[in-house]
Amino acid sequence: MYLHEFEYYAPMTAEEAFGLIGRLGSNAKVLAGGTDLLLMMKEKMLTPQYLIDINGVPEFQGISYEPAKGTVIGAATKIAEIEHSSLIKEKYFALHQAAGELGSVQVRSMATIGGNSCHASPAAETTTPLVALGAKVLLASDAGERELPLEDFILGNRKTALGEKELVSRFILPEPAPRSASCYGHIGLRNAMEIDAVNMAVNLVLEVSGRKIKELKLVMGSVAPKPLVSLEVPAILVGHELSDDLVEKAALAACGEAKPISDIRASAEYRREMVYVLARRLLYQAFNAAQEV
């Protein structure tokens, strides 16, 4: 489990980081928390010649609220900072919940939000709520910046739309709509530091009356190569008040859309069943929470 030899760079500005990535290209890897990357290097799944540690770049750090834009989260922001942010808890509850579930206290104090999306594990904790909340990623390089919805950035299991000379600099979360609420849930096989067998996030907006659903996004994790955005659940629920019959129909529809595989963590059948359980639970939770806003 020894690391191979590599050159380590620690840029202090975004320009310096872009310059290094541009020059070193595919032989280099961005190092954020290292909680995925260093394990892959120890297991020789990746053997980059250069590591570019972005933790010292202030532009990639922190959480700020910009009224016209929404909330901006630097890609190198630690999961622990997101977990403990009162802004995130108040406006993006599903992300707050997911951040608190990732790994352990030790992992959360090292791991970053950018690393979680760039590693693109189908079971990633924060990508499901981020997609449900309408997050966009900013991809930056020497050539400038481009913006992509997170659901288009993640292409599959450990595949992203990141260009060779780009890094993820920030995430942008839109201002939540009035009378909206989001929530997150996950199922693991044991009460320990275990990657999710299934996770899910719901983001729901109510009409002015406060009874009918105006908009809804339900996103499932760990049941497809990338976060799976339900098309059928909004088609069933938008324009209606929540009723037991409709929740049942919607949860069954989500099950039908899920495309899980069987692996070491759970069978496909179990995952499908858990999609049903989580969909029911989170639809009621989000609806009730939106009525209380």
Ligand X SMILES: Cc1cc2nc3c(=O)[nH]c(=O)nc-3n(C[C@H](O)[C@H](O)[C@H](O)COP(=O)(O)OP(=O)(O)OC[C@H]3O[C@@H](n4cnc5c(N)ncnc54)[C@H](O)[C@@H]3O)c2cc1C
Please give the residue ranges that form the binding site for ligand X (CB under 6 A): 29-37, 54, 75, 79, 102-103, 107, 110-112, 114-116, 118-119, 124-125, 162, 167-168, 193, 195
Closer to ligand X by CB, 71 or 199: give it: 199
CB of 7 vs ligand X, minimal distance in Å: 15
Q: Please tell me the distance from the alpha carbon of residue 103 to that of residue 234, in angstroms, as a whole number.
A: 31
User: What sign has the CA pseudo-torsion 83, 85, 89, 92?
Assistant: negative
Closer to ligand X by CB, 167 or 275: give it: 167
Closer to ligand X by CB, 119 or 226: give it: 119
Closer to ligand X by CB, 130 or 242: give it: 130
Closer to ligand X by CB, 70 or 115: give it: 115
Q: Please tell me the distance from the alpha carbon of residue 88 to that of residue 70, in angstroms, as a whole number.
A: 11
CB of 240 vs ligand X, minimal distance in Å: 33
CB of 32 vs ligand X, minimal distance in Å: 3
Closer to ligand X by CB, 138 or 237: give it: 138
Residue nearest to ligand X (CB): 115
Closer to ligand X by CB, 135 or 237: give it: 135
CB of 121 vs ligand X, minimal distance in Å: 6
CB 170 within 8 A of CB 202: no
Could you give the angle at which helices 268-292 and 244-257 cross, rounded to 10 degrees?
140
CB of 206 vs ligand X, minimal distance in Å: 30
CB of 53 vs ligand X, minimal distance in Å: 9
What does the angle CA 228 – CA 229 – CA 231 come to, to the nearest 5 degrees?
Answer: 130
CB of 266 vs ligand X, minimal distance in Å: 15
Closer to ligand X by CB, 55 or 289: give it: 55
CB of 211 vs ligand X, minimal distance in Å: 35
